[in-house]
Amino acid sequence: MINDVESILNEIRERIRADHDPGGVPVTPVQSETAKTSLAHANAENGNGESLIRMSAHLTTTSRAWDRLPPMYSNRKGGTARLELWIKARLKSMSHWFTWEQVNFNSAVHHALAETLHALSAYGQEIAGIRAELRAELPELRAELRAELRAELRELRAELRAELRELRAELSELRELGAELGAELRKESESWREELDLRDRELIALRASIEVLTTEIRKSDADSQARSAAMETRATESAAAIREEIDAARMAMTSQLAGLAGELRESDQQLREEQRVCFKQLSLEASEASVAADRGRRVIESRLDNLEKSLSNGEK
Amino acid sequence: MSDSQKNDLYTRAGINDLAEFYRTKFVSDEVLDARYFKPLDRFDMRFARTMWVYDNVRAGSSVLDLGCGAGMLALLKRKHVVLTGVDVSPECVLAAKRNGYDLALTANLSRLPFDDGSFDYVVSLDVLGHVEFGDKDAVLAEVKRVLRPGGVTMHGIECTDRSSRKDYPEMSPEELRRFIEVDGHVGLEEEQEHATRFLKVFQHVAFEPRYTLCLSSEEFLKQADGYGLKFEADFLEYLRGLSFKERRAFDMAMGYVFSRVSDLGIPLPKAGLYVFLKASDALLGPFYNEHRDRSGLSAGRETADLLPCLDRNSQVVFDDGWYEPNLLPPVARWMGERGRVKFQVAEVSEIALDLTTHLPDLRARPVTLEMVLNGVRLSHFSLFSHSWLNLRVAVPNSLAAEGEFELEIRADRTWQARPTNDATRDDRELSIAVCNIEIRGQKSGIGGQKNPLTSDL
């Protein structure tokens, strides 16, 4: 009784879960406790257990209905209802040959799926066992690894500290050497600066004397320079003037020649044009003269004809 | 002063080469060709003497122009006269030929190279005043020799008035030089003296003083400046201030009065300036208009129809926007700011003409021209060069057969050729010169006739 209640509750729980799962189907409890335990374990271990549980629920349905036909019923009452149910019972027994193959097929599918579920459950159990073994071995392995790593770390630290000490020692040596060199350089630069100051003073004195000398030289050469500059300027000016005159003359000659050539060309063109127009006028006048002569000749001929006619008339 | 003394007046005036002197004085680029004559020019004072001869010459006669100069009598060709000219200057002879004389020769006037009785008329204008006194009788004898029996000789002669002007012997050498230098007058006599000379040779002589009232503006100034004649100073000043067109208007008015005086036979008093003289061995006819027939002056009638070129067609009207034709060469008309040409033609498809300009700074400031035919613009362009341009302008079909046409040419600027040269007084406002204006069309022919060159007449 208690088992029944428990199985009903499990079924309700699984249906609710299936309702929340869109791709799910109603699950019915597995037939055996072993399978249920293994499936529950598998469910606890990973997600694949869920599908196995749903498969098991389906199989509960097929185990119940693989050889069953729907119940016979009637909405009528009395004799008609009994007649109807009687006919249906006859038809049921008559159609047994028709549903036989389907029942066989259902049976085969149900048993194949049940076998598959057992196989999968067995695999699931094996995997759970291996995982439990591994979980048991894992703390030991972790402790070993941690110990090894700590030992290596200690050794590395010791080595680094030793190298650091060596480097510090070298650095202090170099600092000492730099300080010694700086002191030496400072001393040398001071001595050089003193020498440079001395040279500067000497140079200033020399420059002053050179300036005095230069002034004297300038004074002495001023007249000659002025004379030569004047001569040079005069010569440059006269050369430029001569060059300008030559250029101007050349330009003038060139432009005159160009102008003359242009004028000649233009006058030639104009003469040609005038000649053309004159010839045109002459030809027009010649045409007029020829036409006038032709007309005059015709008039004279007609007058002569008239005269001859009048003479002949007079003779008659 | 004897004739022999008077004979060396040219020499005394420093004129040794007579032909050269007359070439410089009387040869010009003026076009006197009858074909270019405008009917309205008959009132131009410039043609007043020519018109007197024109109205006294019989059509178809033979005329000798003595001292023809550049050919002032060329207009006589409108009366179908056989026109011959003689002159001492070869250049004048060439100019006379150019202006349409049938024959022109270089000759001494006292030894004319013609057979006896060769001409119906012997005419001279402004010549006998230039003949030295010693040669005058010989010249008149030659005139009589070449004149046919009964022929008439007509002369326009410059005169003098000894009461108001010094005679040659009274002039100082400088005065004489200046006097002769003006025109070369070495043989000026009074009106009656001229008539007396002619009467020695011809039986009948008639003369009328002219130019008493009417002178051209230029002649007024020349008489005042060159010969010292007295005119009102403000009048002379007014004449000097006239523009070219105003001078022309003045000369036209003077010419009109001159013409009316002749037509009405009004005798003018002696002025000592100029005389018209007619002489013949036959009885003389009327002094004015003896053979008046001006039909040849207006429409060209027969000949005008024949001309394929508008320039020489008297049916074509060149308005006052055009100046008189000039020999550039060729013969061309200068235009002012705008000029119009009116002509009649059956059909026009193209107008061709030659044009040039002498405007300065043409490259910097080209002159822009516009050609308009009957109010429709045909062409619009600019001239950048002084050379002659042969222009051909197509006429749109809408205008082609309108019959009467007015071609207008407009220029955007003009130029005074010699505005500062007082000696020439050429103050014309010129833009372009045009010549050889041809009208081309399928049935073109001036005056509505067919094209004479293609005519089967």
- Show which residues on chain A lie within 8 Å of chain B, measured between beta carbons: 266, 269-270, 273-274, 276-278, 280-281, 284-285, 287-288, 291-292, 294-295, 298
Model pLDDT for residues A88-131, shown as the tens digit of each residue: 888 888 887 888 888 888 888 888 988 988 998 899 889 989 99
pLDDT given for residue B47 in this prediction: 92
ipTM of the predicted structure?
Answer: 0.70
Cβ separation of A274 and B328 shorter than 8 Å? yes
pLDDT given for residue B455 in this prediction: 31
Query: In chain B, which residues have their Cβ closer than 8 Å to the Cβ of A291?
Result: 306, 452-453, 455
Which is nearest to B130 in space by CA: B84, B52, B68, B206? B68
Model pLDDT for residues B158-194, shown as the tens digit of each residue: 998 888 778 888 888 888 888 888 888 888 888 889 9
Which is nearest to B123 in space by CA: B70, B77, B79, B62? B62
**A-to-B residue pairs, Cβ atoms closer than 8 angstroms:** 59
pLDDT given for residue B421 in this prediction: 57
Q: For residues B255-278, give the mean pLDDT.
A: 89
Cβ separation of A291 and B453 shorter than 8 Å? yes
Look up residue B446 and give its DSSP letter.
B
Residue B398 has pLDDT above 50, yes or no: yes
Query: In chain A, which residues have their Cβ closer than 8 Å to the Cβ of B440?
Result: none
- Show which residues on chain B lie within 8 Å of chain A, measured between beta carbons: 302-303, 306-309, 311-312, 328-332, 354, 356, 386-388, 390, 435-436, 438, 452-453, 455, 457
pLDDT given for residue A289 in this prediction: 81
Residue B147 has pLDDT above 90, yes or no: yes
Q: Write B390-396 long-range contacts (CB < 8 A, 24+).
A: B390/A276, B390/A277, B390/A280, B390/B352, B390/B353, B390/B354, B391/B352, B391/B353, B391/B354, B391/B355, B392/B350, B392/B351, B392/B352, B393/B350, B393/B351, B393/B352, B394/B349, B394/B350, B395/B348, B395/B349, B395/B350, B395/B351, B395/B441
Residue B258 has pLDDT above 70, yes or no: yes
Query: In chain B, which residues have their Cβ closer than 8 Å to the Cβ of A266?
Result: 386-387
Q: How far apart are CA A17 and CA B69, in angstroms?
A: 147
Edge-to-edge strand order for the sheet containing B82-87? B103-106, B82-87, B62-66, B119-125, B147-158, B274-280, B204-210
The band of A16, judged by pLDDT with boundaries at 50, 70 and 90, is low
pTM to 2 decimals?
0.61
Buried b / exposed e across A77-91, counting CB within 10 Å, b at 16+?
Answer: eeeeeeeeeeeeeee
Residue A7 has pLDDT above 90, yes or no: no
The band of A23, judged by pLDDT with boundaries at 50, 70 and 90, is very low
pLDDT given for residue A155 in this prediction: 92
The band of A27, judged by pLDDT with boundaries at 50, 70 and 90, is very low
Bridge partners, residue B122, by sequence: B64, B153
Query: In chain A, which residues have their Cβ closer than 8 Å to the Cβ of B309?
Result: 281, 284, 288
Cβ separation of A270 and B309 shorter than 8 Å? no
Report which of residues B183 and B84 the model is more confident about.
B84
Residue B450 has pLDDT above 60, yes or no: no
Q: How far apart are CA B456 and CA B450, in angstroms?
A: 9
Residue A237 has pLDDT above 80, yes or no: yes
Model pLDDT for residues A29-79, shown as the tens digit of each residue: 334 444 444 444 444 445 567 788 888 888 887 777 777 777 777 888 888
Tokens for B154, please give them.
């007509």
